[in-house]
């Protein structure tokens, strides 16, 4: 069976490395391929490629996570709430969309942080990753504060999540200035970066001044290339606990793998293959 990653552009893919290593480990007759699909070709790619009988599913990345929803037969409730699909399952030609990004992030954060009840989280960014992560956090923590370069996007996300019954946290928003970060981090327990600041090749960038980081904070960076970003290096030096984006990447992959194969994913193999491909480091 075939699985694809559809996106545009598609450069190096950790997902291909991770899933092919997992298929091989379990001896499954599956292969994961990259499929570069321009926005104007998305409908055709879904109807002609993804619906084929030898295709089990796909991952979906930028810029198709929202637009692909219009071409599927069914959307899982959580993906509907997040308003984005990153995983598709083909069941006899019928396509169902899921979102495993939020599940992956929540699992990674929970493993490192522990019981999330009563926790206060600050999220930097209001794009696709922020939507999935803030949705799952807002179901589980007591406060979520979303800070974004474009404040109106943070406000729209905050208003939207506040309107969902299952998002029981108190949710607020602001811009991404040093002052707003400083004020938001006072009394916060978890800081999540979902901006691309610090991502390869601009690895010296960081969304937060080191002086604002402190012990007692868990700093999670969704950026996974490099695994240890400048933000995480400085967080560690300031006594904060840290969590790399590799764990979210692997856990969203684990959830997708299990949807496609119905088998328990070989998580250690998946983690190792990603860390190898990224050149080591991080957890």
Indicate which residues carry an active-site annotation: 65
| Residue 51 or 267 with smaller CB distance to ligand NAP | 267
Q: Is 150 in the site for ligand NAP (CB under 6 A)?
A: yes
Q: Which stretch, 33-41, 72-80, 123-131, 234-242, contacts ligand NAP (CB under 6 A)?
A: 123-131
Please list, residue by residue across 25-44, b when 16 or more beta carbons sit within 10 angstroms of its beta carbon and e when fewer do.
eeeeebebbbbebeeeebee
Among 3, 18, 223, 274, binds ligand NAP (CB under 6 A): 223
- Residue 218: how many CB atoms within 10 A of its CB? 20
* Helical H segments across 26-84, by residue range: 42-44, 77-82
- The closest alpha carbon to 206, from 225, 193, 189, belongs to 193
| Residue 142 or 196 with smaller CB distance to ligand NAP | 196
Sign of CA dihedral 154, 254, 52, 91: negative
CA distance 3 to 13: 13
Q: What is the dihedral of CA 37, 41, 46, 52, to 10 degrees?
A: -90
Q: Is 161 in the site for ligand NAP (CB under 6 A)?
A: no
Among 126, 147, 161, 265, binds ligand NAP (CB under 6 A): 126
| Residue 148 or 261 with smaller CB distance to ligand NAP | 148
| Residue 29 or 179 with smaller CB distance to ligand NAP | 179
**What are the residues binding ligand NAP (CB under 6 A)?**
62, 101, 125-130, 148-150, 153, 176, 194-197, 199, 222-224, 245, 248-249, 252
């Amino acid at each position: 069976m075939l699985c694809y990653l559809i996106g545009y552009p598609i450069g190096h893919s950790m997902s291909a490395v991770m899933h092919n290593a997992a298929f091989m480990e379990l001896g499954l007759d599956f292969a994961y391929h990259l499929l570069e699909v321009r926005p104007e070709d998305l409908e055709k790619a879904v109807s002609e490629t993804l619906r084929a009988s030898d295709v089990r599913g796909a991952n979906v990345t930028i810029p198709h996570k929202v637009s692909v929803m219009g071409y599927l037969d069914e959307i899982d409730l959580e993906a509907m709430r997040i308003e984005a699909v990153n995983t598709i399952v083909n069941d006899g030609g019928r396509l169902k969309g899921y979102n495993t990004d939020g599940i992956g992030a929540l699992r990674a954060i929970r493993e490192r942080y522990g019981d999330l009840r009563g926790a206060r989280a600050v999220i930097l960014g209001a794009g696709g990753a922020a939507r999935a992560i803030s949705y799952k956090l807002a179901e589980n923590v007591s406060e979520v504060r979303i800070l974004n370069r474009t404040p109106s996007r943070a406000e729209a996300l905050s208003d939207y999540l506040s309107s969902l019954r299952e998002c029981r946290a108190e949710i607020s928003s602001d811009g991404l200035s040093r002052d707003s970060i400083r004020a938001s981090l006072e009394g916060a327990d978890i800081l999540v970066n979902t901006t691309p600041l610090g991502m390869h090749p601009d690895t010296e960038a960081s969304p937060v001044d080191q002086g604002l980081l402190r012990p007692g904070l868990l700093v999670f960076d969704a950026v996974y290339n490099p695994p240890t970003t400048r933000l995480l290096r400085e967080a560690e030096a300031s006594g904060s606990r840290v969590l790399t984006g590799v764990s979210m990447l692997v856990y969203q992959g684990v959830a997708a793998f299990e949807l496609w194969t119905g088998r328990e994913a070989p998580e250690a193999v998946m983690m190792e293959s990603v860390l190898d491909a990224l050149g080591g480091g991080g957890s």
